[in-house]
Structure 1
């Protein structure tokens, strides 16, 4: 069923908001995206687009464009922190050859989605800060400049501190996980390969992978600590703090850390999956509905999945928006919750201390030798899921 009769407002021009705009505009809706920044852009961060996210980009005919400007992941390698000795190599080419994993600069994905949205006819309005959202009887978005807008449907793709989420759910306090993370991008002077390399230390780990044409390396450094840190990864920090925190890391890890000139630090908080993803003609999407920790690399991928499923649900029941939104939540909430839980449980595996550290690493090595296919496929329920073909 066509969506030509629908005027839709999307709050937020991130991955989820722009992907939803492309999906819905192509289905015939008239879509406006509200973005509080003065430009649609993301800087200074890499991300992994896994096969479940690539399935959506393929369905939107955007996968090839992304692949041209990204690094295809060939392996995931777990290493010890002190000397960089290899513990486990998960060979994606050999054991997941039919799947495609990419290392992507976030700015490149945002540009691809923004260009596709504008080409489809989406109107992107910048410098539009949302103060609050009213859900009934017809959605109204109140802007900081005093203006109001709305439409037949309002979609909150406005991230962790979503105003749309506030309108649908009680405001709860997130739980500080006692972990902080630094992000940085450094030059790839050492010819870092197209692999995700994880350097595992007591209470901390460092993830590194190349970006774009291989000339850059993205770093994510996670440390357990009691001290609280601000939530949100745009807060600058002194690189010397990062190097001091990871001073025990040697080999390639230490060299990469020595190259950091700018970095951001943020606290990792656990937020509950929203109880209510919709009310009336207001819906949530991406981090606004299900914020996730970064340990399964699924934030952007889940947002892409949401965008596709929301479009399908609306197309199936375009004459009954509340019913369509209920269908959307039913298809997405269980999977999103399961992935959020998996991400929350995953970090400790990289942070083992003595006496568990050595035997755990030996078990990983043995598993890699005896059952490499099983080791690679342990998260197939995430990565092989294709929302463009499946229900959900």
Structure 2
């Protein structure tokens, strides 16, 4: 059989953009649709990219832009609530010794870099468009998918890659019933000016929150966050978000008073529950295959969400471009290869949070983190 040459990517986040760029580099025709008109170009506060994420970004050809736009560092500090530094640990370079251990970035800046790379790739992009239905075709041996779109058009593809996130409608449409489940924690986030002394991530444990932390994202910015037990979001008025986050952050010392002074605009504060999900058995049905958060998600306790998502895209596109035939055996091999790596990260991320929820004081958090990050140093 000839290798199929037309792919639809649903979702223009990190995973969808990565898959699009790599498939276009291989000469495969790609359409990318994104439900949001603005392509998420202004959403989010900050993101922590560890070395294995940087490795994929280098493969995408955007590492130099990321390096110039973000803030690289190689250690994490553990502090008391009053700001006293208790321990500083060197981060493992999971992307190899030629890349920083960690880069913090403003999330919208990363998205804009990926958007530019997708457009440069020559993919056809349609914004504000959703896939309304997917019909696996019976012609040509059942090797295609006819997709009807929200703008009234329809097209047939050899493969559909679902990169439409946690609430993936594609996942549900192909009969996979898994859905994200809350872990019991939630996080407040905001972007703010970076105090001159902030040159790494610092994490404070204790106080009114489970974790209070920040990550530098450029020479002048950082993003700050506090983690608490999850509450009913409907009971928290949106116009009180700044007050809520500032009330928690005010209990922390060190650089926090300077950061807290900038928590004033509720529209700039994001509140999100921690979720977990791991689709078991397979990540495909016929010629529709899941990547990224559509297949798995975990709390950001190891800062691996975007990294795993982009790794999915990298591995899948490697396998697609190397194969003469795209079939169930190929997609199952993709699933098995990724599960070997994704499962330990999801489980470790959830376990770290659960230890905090349960008040386990002698939990081996450093050991679990060290083992997991060592595994991630290997190529996916």
The two structures have a TM-score, normalised by structure 2, of 0.86
CA distance in 2, matches of 1:311, 1:139: 18
Q: 1:201 aligns with which of 189, 201, 206?
A: 206
Question: 1:53 is matched with which residue?
Answer: 53
Q: Is the contact made by 2:192 and 2:223 (CA closer than 8 Å) also made in structure 1?
A: yes
Q: 1:241 aligns with which of 237, 240, 244?
A: 244
Q: Is the contact made by 2:93 and 2:377 (CA closer than 8 Å) also made in structure 1?
A: no
- Pair 1:104 & 2:105 matched: yes
CA distance in 1, matches of 2:17, 2:182: 29
Question: 1:94: Cα distance to partner?
Answer: 10
Question: 1:19 is matched with which residue?
Answer: 18
- Pair 1:334 & 2:347 matched: no
CA distance in 1, matches of 2:282, 2:251: 45
SS at match of 2:315: helix
Distance verdict in 2 for CA 1:139–1:343, change over 3 Å? same
CA-to-partner distance for each residue in 1:111-160, whole Å, 9 max, x for gaps? 22222222221111111023343345432333333333341100100001
- Pair 1:119 & 2:112 matched: no
CA distance in 2, matches of 1:126, 1:77: 41
Question: 1:128 is matched with which residue?
Answer: 129
- Pair 1:264 & 2:270 matched: yes
Question: 2:31 is matched with which residue?
Answer: 32
Question: 2:141 is matched with which residue?
Answer: none
Distance verdict in 2 for CA 1:205–1:327, change over 3 Å? same
Q: Is the contact made by 1:192 and 1:210 (CA closer than 8 Å) also made in structure 2?
A: no
Q: Is the contact made by 1:199 and 1:206 (CA closer than 8 Å) also made in structure 2?
A: yes
Question: 1:340: Cα distance to partner?
Answer: 0.9
Q: Is the contact made by 2:277 and 2:295 (CA closer than 8 Å) also made in structure 1?
A: no
CA distance in 1, matches of 2:358, 2:201: 19
CA distance in 2, matches of 1:99, 1:208: 21
Runs of 5+ in structure 2 lacking a partner?
A: 139-143
Distance verdict in 2 for CA 1:296–1:18, change over 3 Å? same
Question: 1:252 is matched with which residue?
Answer: 255
Distance verdict in 2 for CA 1:326–1:224, change over 3 Å? same
Which moved further from structure 2: 56-65 or 378-387?
378-387
Question: 1:247: Cα distance to partner?
Answer: 4.2
- Pair 1:325 & 2:318 matched: no
Give me the CA root mean square deviation: 2.9
SS at match of 2:255: helix
Question: 1:37: Cα distance to partner?
Answer: 1.4
Aligned positions of 1:195-234 closer than 5 A: 195-202=200-207, 203-212=209-218, 214-225=219-230, 227-229=231-233
CA distance in 2, matches of 1:57, 1:71: 15
CA distance in 2, matches of 1:240, 1:75: 31
Distance verdict in 2 for CA 1:237–1:28, change over 3 Å? farther
Question: 1:326: Cα distance to partner?
Answer: 2.0
Aligned positions of 1:305-316 closer than 5 A: 305-316=311-322
Distance verdict in 2 for CA 1:244–1:275, change over 3 Å? farther
CA distance in 1, matches of 2:321, 2:83: 51
Question: 1:30: Cα distance to partner?
Answer: 0.2
- Pair 1:384 & 2:377 matched: yes
Q: Is the contact made by 2:70 and 2:217 (CA closer than 8 Å) also made in structure 1?
A: yes
Count of equivalent residues: 365
Runs of 5+ in structure 1 lacking a partner?
A: 368-373, 388-392
Question: 1:351: Cα distance to partner?
Answer: 6.7
Question: 1:370 is matched with which residue?
Answer: none
Q: Is the contact made by 2:284 and 2:290 (CA closer than 8 Å) also made in structure 1?
A: yes
Question: 1:296: Cα distance to partner?
Answer: 1.0
SS at match of 1:238: helix
CA distance in 2, matches of 1:173, 1:13: 20
CA distance in 1, matches of 2:92, 2:349: 24
